[in-house]
Amino acid sequence: MSPVRVAVLISGSGSNLQAIIDKIEKNEINGELVVVISNKENAYGLERAKNHNIEGLLIDSKTVDHHEYNRLILSAVKERNIELVVLAGYLRILDKEFIEAYKDRIINIHPSLIPSFCGKGFYGLKVHQSAVEYGVKISGATVHFVDEKADNGPIILQKAISLDFDDTAESLQRKILAVEHELLPEAVKLFCEKKLKVIGRKVSICK
């Protein structure tokens, strides 16, 4: 089976990107990471791509309007015959045209157990701060397919972790990031093995 052609979209350091790169290089994922696209010029994830001889592409979201920005990204992935788009710490909302073009072929990682602490405005440290302030006993990470609403698509994988009484937003972020580095590559692996099937709001994982 030919490797699945993958694009990863980032906005920052790209630690989840690195987790995917590591698994692909160990031949644990039947995928080819074709391009890493960043909407921010100083995103370290572009350097990670360069270090592994992967094409890095900057499409700066500050220089064009929302519609044009999404058009440029869609053109970039189509030109490279991308089959799977992975959002790894990507802080932009994709538009309807992009999502329709890649229906059930875009996956995202979110640092909470959806539907808790998710949706518009919940990103980065704010997610963990909200969980700590609420006093929840568990949180975790979720990988899901992307639809037109933020953090709303069918859930692929989730994993929970326990909070300690003295956890801060920062310490919780570190705990959950370790979980993200497990879950996102696993979801990519399952997709590349054609083991994921979306049925309504549920995702069936074939054995």
Residues serving a catalytic function are 110
Q: How many CA atoms lie within 13 A of 117 on its CB side?
A: 24
CA distances from 78 to 63, 98, 106, 109, 120 (A): 21, 10, 13, 22, 28
Task: Give the bridge partners for 155, in sequence order.
Answer: 144
CB atoms near residue 34 (< 10 Å): 19
Which residues neighbour 70 within 8 Å (Cβ) at sequence distance 6 or greater?
94, 95, 97, 98
